[in-house]
Amino acid sequence: MVNNVNYIKNNELQALSSQAGRRVTGAIEKASARTGVDFAYLMKQAKVESSFNPSAKARSSSATGLFQFIESTWLEMVNKYGDKYGISKSGSRHQILAQRNDPEKAALMAAEFAAENRNKLQACLGNGCQVGDTELYLAHFLGAEGAVDFLQARNANPDKSGAALFPQAARANRSVFYNEAGRPRTLDEIYSRFASKLDATPSANVLTAKITQPQEQVDLAAMLNFYPGVPQYRAVANVNNWQNFYAPARMQPAMMSSNWMRNYAINPVDIMQISQMAYNDRYNA
């Protein structure tokens, strides 16, 4: 029997983590763990939005911070989720907006925003439509409703001008909606540009490989050996049921204080190599 197994591009994540630095990578890893939103997607989004700079400020809009939240979206997200994560809703408008420069808070709000957008896109586009990295990024960029309009218009006429459909967004983001010569980009060109920037396929951010059952058993055993001494919190006696093998998305408290964690999880990508597979299975279900 042949199963599809999703693998993280862990070498790419290691490179992104090196660029981001420990604090930013840790903030994104924690946001992913608390919300279940794909770690790799959030890392790539932060790279595209701000080059991992928590203090980044757009020149043509109010977008600020690691995930470039505009003022209205940030205020909306803090109003919805601030209490859940201890993000202050009190103080002056300036003080609330200044929290966009805190990578931990920005990552949490970006993850919640992505989760919201995924649900909205799926509801509007139907279960037959895969919502991948590019679709999620469009929703972050245009809002969920704007992304739905974009995707439906692209499906109907991929050669339609994006600037004609989104004139306000085009004025604030000329490099997205117009090429170097000043020609308006088509919807298909804009979509492809976002997909390329995220270095993702149109519907997924992981590599999918077809692996035979015997190879799966070898791979699972090798993974266990690679992480010696890690308590297993799922039944692994029957490795034929590979879906039940993977470690839970959130590591158990005992592991967080173990020597293994201190030795191997200096960079959060190391721990995400195991746990992200569980995320991807649930997130893409």
What is the C-alpha to C-alpha distance for residues 139 and 114, in angstroms, rounded to an integer? Answer: 8
* Tokens coding 54: 């928590």
What does the pLDDT look like over 4-44, one tens digit per residue? 333 446 778 888 999 999 999 999 999 999 999 999 999 99
Q: What is the structure's pLDDT at 167?
A: 96
Domain identity same for 177 and 225:
no
Q: What is the structure's pLDDT at 130?
A: 80
What is the C-alpha to C-alpha distance for residues 216 and 160, in angstroms, rounded to an integer? Answer: 45
What is the C-alpha to C-alpha distance for residues 151 and 264, in angstroms, rounded to an integer? Answer: 41
Side-chain-side CA neighbours of 162 within 13 Å: the count stands at 31
Q: What is the structure's pLDDT at 103?
A: 98
Greater confidence, 270 or 154? 154
Catalytic residue among 29, 49, 104, 189: 49
What are the Cα distances from residue 240, in Å, to 2, 216, 251, 273, 279? 11, 8, 23, 20, 20
Q: Is 49 part of the annotated catalytic residue set?
A: yes
Q: What is the structure's pLDDT at 10?
A: 73
What is the C-alpha to C-alpha distance for residues 221 and 232, in angstroms, rounded to an integer? Answer: 13
Domain of residue 169 covers 133-202
CATH of the domain at 187: 1.10.530.10
Domain identity same for 179 and 246:
no
Residue 137 confidence (pLDDT) above 60 = yes
Within a domain: 267: yes
Single-letter code of the amino acid located at 119: N
Q: Which residue has the tokens 């109003």?
A: 79
Domain identity same for 150 and 215:
no
**How many domains does one find in the chain?**
2
Within a domain: 21: no
Domain identity same for 151 and 186:
yes
Within a domain: 198: yes
What is the C-alpha to C-alpha distance for residues 199 and 122, in angstroms, rounded to an integer? Answer: 22
What does the pLDDT look like over 198-243, one tens digit per residue? 874 333 333 333 323 333 333 444 444 443 444 333 333 343 443 3
Residue 106 confidence (pLDDT) above 80 = yes
Domain identity same for 152 and 180:
yes
Within a domain: 167: yes
Q: What is the structure's pLDDT at 260?
A: 41
